[in-house]
């Protein structure tokens, strides 16, 4: 239902309309309007506490897990409002994958981590699972490093490898969108570089939204950039434009390092 | 470049010096005087704490010595394999061992199922409202309720209301009630210790709550749950009071063969033999020998718990 929404505009994956979000009485997102387009990398930048992580977690409704959260407004995913009662959370999250700030592999083997998604969604065939694991690990540029120790514990991998494993795990259920919440903030520059290269490759097949602390990263990897401040979307346009000729004074101040 | 960084480190050094040469707020002579006292106090504290430990160890030592000397000559294979008898030389604890095993066969499945399910509900499903926190607090309180009270509960509910008599089922269910709070609390703690980011990982893959619990939360918390269970069960195996209140017969010559049989158990045997020492002094030796058996069983179970904890300890 979610993937084949007929009424979607061409190329628009997410259409966020008038999104507000409260933690209890604190409003964390104020009237957000933005479109995320197919096969593009959309970066979300802004100082700590500006609501950028909250925003990305609304896109697959991970915020629902926090009891005190209330939302208003609409998020259309391929034309379907994801807050609609008929939308199944589980279905949404199989089409929209997520990679977290801290690498969070399960305390299982590398193989078991990658095939976790396919397994819980009912694939039992060993051969098929192996194929999925190989393909996902190759897409996440991790296959060559782990192919000889697929059954070792995932915690034996380095931080960067663990994060790529988490990406492989998300890819294994063949999502259309990949949400990344500061995926490199816990990694060293070399590992960060590898993930960035990976994102650049992945965008051919996936639509990616990435929250990042690093403006250089946003500038390097994204097509569009959204600048959040105090829960408001200040500016959203082509990355090139944001970093060269921003329209809003506050965007300019932030990207030139005058605050934040 | 190097010159610049040298300049910078000089600056930092200067700053540090400024602090050091600032106002003195510690008079070294006075503090030294006070320090003497503190060092003395430290030595005294060390002695006091070590003596406390030694005291407990001495008492334990005396207990072991008494039991050891009293059971020598009485504890042999024949003691383990013969049935009860009014003649001390012939008496054994075979029936009591089988009774205890039967009891555990009731307690283990009942407490595991009910206890872990309750813990899962309270930690994962229940809203974290006032009512839930009221329930949680009271489960912890239940863990501290004296076991005699649970015996009375068993007497009222299982023996009188359900008419289960003094059967293994009645005894087992009573002991289950007694240790249930311990298992619930231990399982709750184990489940709570599973980091949220692991759950998020599963939820983000489209897993339902139950799938997340089954595939991520339970495997990760299993060592903690098992440790708690074994400790709870070893408490159940050594409990006397609830069974006495339930009215377990003093002398059972038949070996229990079904869940509805009358039975005796190891701690009950110790209790009755100790009571009757006035009549037959040798019963004291029988009781001591049974204590040794019970202690060995408890030690074994605790070692298994420690083994599981170490073996399956996970780092995230």
Q: Evaluate whether residue B306 is within a structural domain.
A: yes
Residue A78: count of CB within 10 angstroms of its CB:
22
pLDDT at residue A240, as a whole number: 92
Chain B residue numbers with beta carbons less than 8 Å from the beta carbon of A92 are 206
Domain assignment of residue B86, yes or no: yes
Q: How do residues A153-168 score in pLDDT, each as one tens digit? A: 999 999 889 999 999 9
Q: Is residue B23 part of a domain?
A: no
pLDDT at A58: 94
Q: Which residue in chain A is spatially nearest to B214 when comparing CA positions?
A: A120
CB contact at 8 A, A53 and A111: no
Q: For chain B, what percent of residues have pLDDT higher than 70?
A: 90
Q: Decide: A69 and A43 in contact? Cβ < 8 Å.
A: no
Looking at the complex, report in whole angstroms how far the Cα of residue B128 sits from the nearest Cα belonging to chain A: 9
Q: Which residues pair with A34 in a beta bridge?
A: A16
- Closest-CA residue of B relative to A178 is B204
In a domain, B160, yes or no: yes
Q: Output the pLDDT for position B179.
A: 92
Report CB contact under 8 Å: A117, B211: no
pLDDT digit string (tens) for B26-81?
A: 777 788 888 888 899 999 999 999 999 999 999 999 999 988 888 887 778 777 77
Among A67, A93, A155, the residue with its CB nearest the CB of B204 is A93
Q: Is the CB of A98 less than 8 angstroms away from the CB of B206?
A: no
What domain range is B201 assigned to? 77-311
Residue B122, Cβ density class (10 Å: 0-12 exposed, 13-18 middle, ≥19 buried)? buried
* Residue A1 in contact with partner chain B when CB distance is under 8 A: no
The CATH T-level fold of domain A39-60+95-255 is: Rossmann fold (3.40.50)
Comparing CA positions, the residue from A184, A215, A181 lying closest to residue A198 is A184
Overall domain count for chain B: 1
Tell me the C-alpha distance between A117 and A99, whole Å: 14
Tell whether A106 is within 8 A of chain B (Cβ).
yes
- Which residues 223-262 of B have a C-beta within 8 angstroms of A? none
Arithmetic mean of pLDDT, A147-157:
92
At B61 the pLDDT is: 94
Residue B207: what pLDDT?
A: 92
Query: Does residue B314 belong to the interface with chain A, where contact is any CB pair within 8 Å?
Result: yes
Query: Is residue B159 in some structural domain?
Result: yes
Q: Do A170 and B204 touch (CB under 8 A)?
A: yes
pLDDT tens string A13-56: 999 999 999 999 999 999 999 999 999 999 999 998 899 999 99
The span from the CA of A90 to the CA of A88, in Å, is 5
pLDDT recorded at residue A7: 47
> Residue B201 and residue A104: Cβ atoms within 8 Å?
yes
CATH of the domain at B91: 1.10.3720.10
Q: Smallest Cα–Cα separation from A41: which of A212, A164, A208, A179?
A: A208
Among chain A residues, the shortest Cα distance to B195 is held by A104
Query: Looking at the predicted structure, is the pLDDT value of residue B315 above 60?
Result: no
In degrees, rounded to 5, the angle at the alpha carbon of residue A41 between the alpha carbons of residues A40 and A44 is 135
Average pLDDT of chain A to the nearest whole number: 89
Residue B127 clears pLDDT 80, i.e. is over it? no
| A203 and B CB contact within 8 Å | no
Selected residue with higher pLDDT from A32 and B89: A32
* Percent of chain A scoring above 90 in pLDDT: 64
Residue B14 reports pLDDT greater than 70: no
Contact A97 B205 (CB under 8 A): yes
What is the band of A6 on the pLDDT scale with cuts at 50, 70, 90? Answer: very low
Contact across the interface for B203 and A100, Cβ inside 8 Å: no
Tens of pLDDT along B141-196? 888 888 888 888 888 888 888 888 778 888 889 999 999 999 999 999 999 999 99
Query: Running DSSP on this structure, what letter comes out for residue B256?
Result: P
Confidence of residue A82 (pLDDT cuts 50, 70, 90): very high
Q: Give the pLDDT band (50/70/90) at residue B202.
A: very high
CA distance to partner chain A, nearest, from residue B194 (Å): 11
Per domain, the residue ranges of chain A are 39-60+95-255
pLDDT for A1 equals: 55
Residue B296 within a domain: yes
Residues of B in contact with A66 (CB under 8 A): none
Number of A:B CB contacts under 8 A? 64
Residue A139 has pLDDT above 70, yes or no: yes
């Amino acid at each position: 239902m979610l993937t084949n929404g007929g009424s979607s505009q061409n190329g628009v994956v997410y259409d966020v309309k008038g999104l507000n979000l409260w933690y209890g009485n604190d409003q964390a997102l104020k009237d957000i309007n933005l479109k995320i387009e197919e096969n593009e990398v959309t970066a979300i930048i802004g100082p700590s506490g500006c609501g950028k992580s909250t925003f990305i977690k609304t896109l697959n409704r991970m915020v629902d897990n926090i009891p005190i959260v209330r939302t208003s407004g609409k998020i259309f995913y391929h034309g379907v409002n994801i807050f609609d009662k008929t939308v199944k959370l589980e279905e949404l999250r199989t089409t929209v994958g997520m990679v977290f700030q801290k690498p969070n592999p399960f305390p299982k083997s590398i193989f078991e981590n990658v095939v976790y998604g396919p397994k819980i969604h009912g694939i039992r065939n060993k051969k098929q699972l192996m194929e999925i694991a190989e393909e996902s690990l190759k897409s996440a540029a991790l296959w060559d490093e782990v192919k000889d120790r697929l059954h070792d514990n995932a915690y034996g991998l380095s931080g960067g490898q663990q994060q790529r494993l988490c990406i492989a795990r998300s890819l294994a259920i063949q999502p259309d969108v990949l949400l990344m919440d500061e995926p490199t903030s816990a990694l060293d520059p070399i590992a960060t570089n590898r993930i960035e290269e990976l994102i650049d490759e992945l965008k051919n097949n996936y639509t990616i939204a990435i929250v990042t602390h690093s403006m250089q990263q946003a500038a390097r990897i994204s097509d569009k950039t959204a600048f959040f401040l105090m829960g408001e979307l200040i500016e959203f346009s082509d990355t090139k434009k944001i970093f060269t000729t921003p329209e809003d004074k506050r965007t300019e101040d932030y990207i030139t390092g005058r605050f934040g | 470049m190097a010159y610049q960084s040298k300049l910078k480190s000089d600056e930092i050094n200067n700053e540090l010096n400024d602090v050091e040469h600032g106002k003195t707020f510690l008079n070294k002579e006075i503090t030294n005087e006070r320090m003497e006292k503190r060092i003395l106090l430290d030595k005294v504290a060390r002695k006091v704490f070590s003596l406390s430990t030694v005291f407990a160890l001495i008492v334990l030592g005396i207990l072991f010595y008494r039991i050891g000397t009293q059971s020598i000559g009485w504890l042999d294979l024949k003691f383990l394999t013969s049935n009860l008898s009014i003649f001390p030389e012939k008496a054994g604890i075979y029936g009591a061992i089988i009774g205890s095993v039967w009891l555990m066969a009731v307690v283990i499945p009942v407490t595991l199922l009910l206890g872990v399910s309750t813990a899962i509900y309270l930690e994962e499903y229940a809203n974290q409202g006032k009512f839930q926190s009221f329930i949680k607090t009271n489960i912890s309180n239940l863990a501290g309720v004296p076991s005699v009270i649970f015996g009375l509960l068993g007497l009222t509910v299982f023996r009188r209301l359900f008419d289960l008599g003094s059967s293994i089922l009645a005894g087992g269910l009573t002991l289950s009630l007694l240790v249930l709070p311990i298992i619930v609390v231990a399982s709750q703690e184990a489940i709570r210790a599973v980091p949220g980011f692991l759950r998020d990982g599963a939820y983000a893959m489209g897993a339902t709550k139950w799938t997340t619990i089954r595939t991520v939360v339970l495997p990760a918390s299993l060592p903690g749950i098992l440790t708690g269970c074994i400790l709870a069960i070893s408490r159940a195996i050594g409990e006397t009071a609830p069974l006495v209140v339930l009215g377990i017969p003093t002398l059972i010559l038949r070996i229990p063969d079904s869940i509805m049989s009358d039975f005796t158990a190891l701690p009950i045997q110790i209790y009755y033999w100790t009571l009757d020492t006035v009549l037959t002094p040798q019963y004291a030796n029988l009781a001591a020998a049974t204590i040794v058996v019970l202690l060995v069983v408890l030690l074994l179970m605790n070692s298994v718990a420690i083994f599981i904890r170490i073996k399956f300890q996970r780092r995230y």
